[in-house]
Structure 1
């Protein structure tokens, strides 16, 4: 299959790779509306103090932009290790840390290093839609194993699927996107143990726990970081886009064994992390306490939204709402979710059509944004 391009009035065919021919680019709608609650962004921007530090650090980096950046971003890896030690209680060495332009690029590095032709990746669906695209882009086969109706993972079914399909890489998302569902450490341990029994040329399958929303998990919930010393085939990814309110900074990172990290260094592009990106992330980590101070507020607003949605009756039934440990809420079910989505959009509220048919996802915003969402939903559904 080919893609046509208009060049000097003449239509010419392009030799598009079969695996992507006809595909549309991934991306949530970017619309100029008053209430944008569709991409799980943090609604609270950086404070003037944080902006001042970022400006100072970027200005210092700008003086050396004629030189390539530190390709191993040594200072930043130390900053991230220090942050994780404080956030999760797990002390890692800088050599156990990897970073890239968003956790998306980290995932691509993982499949470039461990996936590829003749190998496969596995996810438990519904899951983040980009996982299948990471596999497609790295020529890695892709297996989707359904979750239970409550969006939890059937551990026995998971173990059977891992044994039968022998994936090289297994992606676990906790809290899960789009459902908000979190995994316990025992669940992560069970799946990683099953992965350890897979034989990939004498090595076990790899488990990657995507903890993009980890900071929003409920008090007392553990992080898969606690299992790294137990499983050398385990990696945990994080991002600064959500809790750190740094979506525009594009910094995602990974914690794993030094051997795992060194393997990723083989496939990364030279100087993939710019001096400016490193400076912004360093500055943000200097103010981690300030930037994360709104996390508790978002958790409280999330829990209140879950309770409110569950109290609403639509067509004779209470709305279904998934438990959430993230900064968003997954709710339904609607016979025509697109009509509901459009009705909210017509009122200036943009949310997300995501996951199985009938379900919608809304990002937790400020109290003002949540009130606008509730009012729009009441009007649209006649609640």
Structure 2
């Protein structure tokens, strides 16, 4: 019996702007040394894990009910943490949280972007920003950061930024500080210049300073949180994925005016933050001092990595994050592959010819240094 050919599956009515697109995602490979996605290399301490387990067990009793939709207790805990960490005096209603800072940013673009509106940032910067814009049908444009060889490598020139704002009239400006993938922090004077230019637009706009790596900034580098009282159109986003060692918990948050946060409440999905996530995050905030205790160690190791790379002839961007961008390579993919062949996974990202390495444990960084020199010496 001759079987009939399987009919071809009909083409799905995918949005035209999504045809040919690939899902976002850095490689998740099983190798001995994983230094490609800026995770904290240190796991949560056993005693905190136990406390989280108790909190999750307590939350599980009520999982037949929807979670607290407004999660004001968590928002109050976040406000208390920012008061201790940065001296920012905020009401719980000025905090927002979601499943990672990715969802927080998506809420911002849903509320303030959309068809006929524009989001602006300065490249190179976080590769997810244009995807937030795409997914919300927001036009995406970029200005340029200063070149690597300038006096302010990968910084944002305020005059250029203001010119771009006047030209494109964005409804949303995204400023990563420290920037991913370069690690560059912005002076508050640059943020203030951007805020003033956006405020002067006929339709106004909002500015988001993305401080996902803010806890790793060097001594004396300020947070944009201190600008919030004077700027109701400013928001500062953070995450618990990095410094808190909670990448798997998926909790990001944002501080802004109450009016700004209320706009995000309109576009969020119902009950978007699970009771389990809320329980884990609140437990982590109770243990913030312990969870953040190794941030200083990672800062020191980052600075040591910068010095070692420069000593060995590499060009390195100054970093206020938990990663380092370095180069410049004629064939960066060959270097990346050579490291991977030796069991070390870093990230092939940023400007052409550059690579990014996350800061891991002392042993992981030694493996990285050994592998890198082997690869370079073979070329």
| TM-score range for the pair, normalised by the shorter chain length | over 0.9
Quote the Cα distance in structure 2 between the aligned partners of 1:12 and 1:311: 58
Q: Which runs of 5+ in 1 are unaligned?
A: 1-6, 313-317
Consecutive unaligned residues in structure 2, runs of 5 or more: 148-152
Residues 301-328 of structure 1: CA deviation (Å, up to 9, x unaligned): 000000000011xxxxx21100000000
Question: In the alignment, what sits opposite 1:35?
Answer: 33
Matching residue of 1:189: 192
Q: How many angstroms does 1:10 deviate by?
A: 3.4
Corresponding residue for 2:377? 382
2:53 to 44, 52, 55: 55
1:24-72 CA-partner distances (Å, limit 9, x unpaired) = 0010000000000000000011101110110010000000000000000
Give the paired residue count.
369
Q: Which residue of the other structure, out of 123, 126, 129, is the alignment partner of 2:124? A: 126
Q: Please state how far the C-alpha of 1:180 moved relative to its aligned partner.
A: 0.2
CA shift, 1:82, in A, is 0.2
Q: C-alpha separation between the residues in 1 aligned to 2:341 and 2:241?
A: 28
Q: Secondary structure at the match of 1:238?
A: strand
Q: TM-score, normalised by structure 2?
A: 0.96
Structure 1 residue aligned with 2:266: 266
Q: Secondary structure at the match of 1:270?
A: coil
**Aligned equivalents of 1:253 and 1:245: distance in 2?**
15
Residue 350 of structure 1 pairs with residue 345 of structure 2: yes
Q: Deviation of residue 194 (structure 1)? A: 1.2
Q: Aligned-pair RMSD on alpha carbons?
A: 1.1
TM-score, normalised via structure 1 length: 0.95
- Determine the C-alpha separation between the residues in 1 that align with 2:111 and 2:245: 29
1:13 CA displacement: 0.8
The structural deviation recorded for 1:199 is: 1.8
| Alignment correspondent of 2:66 | 68
Question: What are the residue-to-residue correspondences of 1:283-298 with 2, within 5 Å?
Answer: 283-298=283-298
In structure 1, distance between residues paired with 2:17 and 2:70: 33
SS in 2 for 1:67: coil
Residue 8 (structure 1) shift: 6.5
Which residue matches 1:3?
none
- Superposition deviation, residue 9 in structure 1: 5.4
Which among 98, 103, 114 is matched to residue 116 of structure 1? 114
